Chain A
Amino acid sequence: MILNQFLILAALLFCMGVYGLLVRRNAVMVLLSVELMLAAVNINLVALEAFWQTSEALGQILAVFIITIAAAEVGIGLAIILLIFRNRRSANVDELNLMRW
């Protein structure tokens, strides 16, 4: 069973996601980076499930949940970004400090 390759792929994907999350200015790109991180997690879950062979297939179930949630999250996230863009004519996260104290 080749587990390590999947894990390395997932780690790479996650690191790309983190990089994108921290570095990109465009909010849409930040959102996409988050999706990347979630995909990495999904890969881990599915790979580990296949490796451990649990009878209840918990990994797959969890992965399906995460995909669903990710879809919802992206939907809401894009809606928020769209609204912000409409109001501020920009989707640059550096300019967004609405959530400040």
Chain B
Amino acid sequence: MGVSTNLYLAAEGAAAAATTGGIWSEWAGLMLIGPMLAFVVIVLFGKRMRYQGAEVAIGAMAFNFVWSSVLLLLNMGDSGVLYERSLEIAAVGGGLVFELGWIVDGLSIMMYWVVAAVGLAVFVYAHGYMKGEVRVTFFFAALSLFAGSMLVLVGSPNLVQLIIGWEGVGLASYLLIGHNWELKENSSAAMKAFYTNKVADVGLVIGVIIIGITLGSFHFWDLAAAAAEHSAALGPVAVAAGLLLFFGAMGKSAQFPLHIWLPDAMAGPTPVSALMHAATMVTAGIYLMARTFPLYQELATAARPWMIAAGTITLFGMGLLALVADDIKRVLAYSTVSQLGYMMTAVAAGGYTAGLFHLFTHAFFKALLFLGAGSVIHAVHSNNMSDMGGLRRHMPDTYRTFVIGALALAGVFPLSGFWSKDEILATLGYEGYNLVMWIAVAGAFVTAFYMARAVALTFFGEYRGHGEPHESPPIMTRPLWALAVPAVLAGVVNIPGLKLPWIGSFTDWLSVRSVPMGDHHAEAIDVGLAAAGLAAAVAGLWLGWRAFGPSAADRADRDRVEIPVLYPLLRQKYYLDHAALGLVWVIRQPAARAVNWVNDYVIDGVVNGVGALCQRLAGLLYGGVDQHGIDGVVHGLSWGTSGMGGLIRRIQSGRVQQYAGLLVAGLLLLAVVVLFVL
């Protein structure tokens, strides 16, 4: 165990000096351990607790929230916080060491806080939402594991621990998506999520191996330092490593074409979706890209066009899918995929701050939207918007907060989404990706359109479902309002050219890092671009409202605006699921069967064949040579002997006089022979 001294200081931004953060940093590892401990405690003892373990999970999250808030405040000051601690868990030879530990810097503090803040809101909400559901105890255990794994991931000072957290997140998502595993479609969705991520993990693992062996270390600071120095060792493999890490990130952050698991992941209870989409899962890929940002910035620049391409396809193509979904959670899921495309594109284009800022704001309004959707689903017992409508009268709190979230997501001034989306557009423009920038603007239009559609279909018009929907209990609506506050306000922390007193700006928070890096942050708002983005958003909202709002004539028809080719293509999700299922089918059926056939009939055929051949040969040898040949002689001898004996024994009648007669006859014979023959 040792405190690393190999720390660089950020040169850029306001934080000219960094403190270690005192005990808050030295014991920050408690935040990583807490939820993990909660997981174990709930699994073992949760059933006997009053609230079935929910109190432990919420307690651990509340603890994390307080702790990370303190760290956030410390980091906001004039000097940022920078601390790192590692505990060796194994030296494996070849100079490589595996370590566990935690890192406290601007990036990780931001992530700690987002996970804790969103997590706390979701946990509290879930306590209400899950009342009366099956396996509540295990649900909270898995939620704790989910959050804990994410914290292990974002707190990791090295790539190996990152993998541990990374797959832990995958496991927890598997457990939670498949929470109602009695239904096959749920367990299949869980498998799909785990499996798609596992495919992506191959890239991550190989990328980590390349970096680890090349540098002889798994530490992020070594990677960053090597990148900053344009290390000769790392240079030749940087692009490969970068692309492989990105492939891993594509799985977790649902980039095209590995996004297919995310919409299906809606099979899990709604709080899970909220947590997954806001804080604990899909952001992991963006976080990884941000953490390894110097690699892409300095060495793996050739990887960036590919990343931007994937990000751009995701942000636009996946947004379109949200237009045709009927399931409200799927609309939100596709919107998440699309927003992740924004973040990825931004980070890949060099907009470190921009991507993370969008991650930050998105976490709040997307969690809010999901929890709102959950509240609606809780009330109408259906996921489909065709069973909703007119709910604004029945559920005023849900309605208001949902609209706030929708407007923030659409990027309406001055809500948080506007600022972060604008930052991304500005970065793309600054870095010279103009085409991508305009696609992003178009994406903003699509975003606004489907959010307008979702709000209109859910909260306006006539109620189309069954029963009488009621507003959710306060334990569920309070977290909604709690999240609505940052959804509205989070944007102000990073308004270009504006530095808030004692809060500083988001850019400054993040600039406290172990290595300096170049990152553009506009000094003033580009009014033209901001206006374009806002115009796209407003146009989208207006058109969506026109098409699906209550005033729209013959809404049922508009609901089925079926543009030939495009509509079926979107309904079938670009047929990507079919392709993936086809691939799985090929592995499952022909390939696996072929191998099994080879095993049973070729390899085992040879083995059995040799066995059978030996048996036949042995049979031949035994029957032919042994039994009839050698044994024939032996048997013949014995048969002859006994036969002879049978004949001869007749002489032995037991009659003394017969014997004597023979004796005499023999004697006479002898006499004759002696007398006449010799």
Contact = CB atoms under 8 A, between A and B. Distances in A.
Interface stretch (A44-52, A59-67, A92-100): A92-100
A18 interface: yes
Interface size class of A (residues with CB under 8 A): 10 to 19
Contact of B654 (A18, A21, A22, A96): A96
A94 B655 contact: yes
Nearest to B648: A101
Contacts of B560: none
Interface in A1-60: 18, 21-23, 30
Contacts of A94: 655, 657
A97 B664 CA distance: 20
Contacts of A23: 657
B556 interface: no
Interface in B652-673: 652-657, 660-661, 664
Given A18-B664, A22-B664, A97 B653 contact: yes
A22 B655 CA distance: 11
Contacts of B661: 22
Nearest to B646: A101
Contacts, number: 32
A22 B664 CA distance: 9
Nearest to A23: B657
Interface string A70-101: 00000000000000000000000110111111
Interface residues of B, number: 10
Interface in B627-678: 649, 652-657, 660-661, 664
B660 A22 contact: yes
B656 A93 contact: yes
A98 B661 CA distance: 18
B657 A22 contact: yes
Contacts of A93: 655-657
A97 B660 contact: no
Nearest to A18: B664
Nearest to B649: A101
Contacts of A97: 653-655
Contacts of A30: 656-657
B415 to A, nearest CB: 122
A99 B655 CA distance: 8
22 contacts: A21-B657, A21-B660, A22-B657, A22-B660, A22-B661, A22-B664, A30-B656, A30-B657, A93-B655, A93-B656, A93-B657, A94-B655, A96-B656, A97-B654, A99-B652, A99-B654, A99-B656, A100-B652, A100-B653, A100-B654, A101-B652, A101-B654
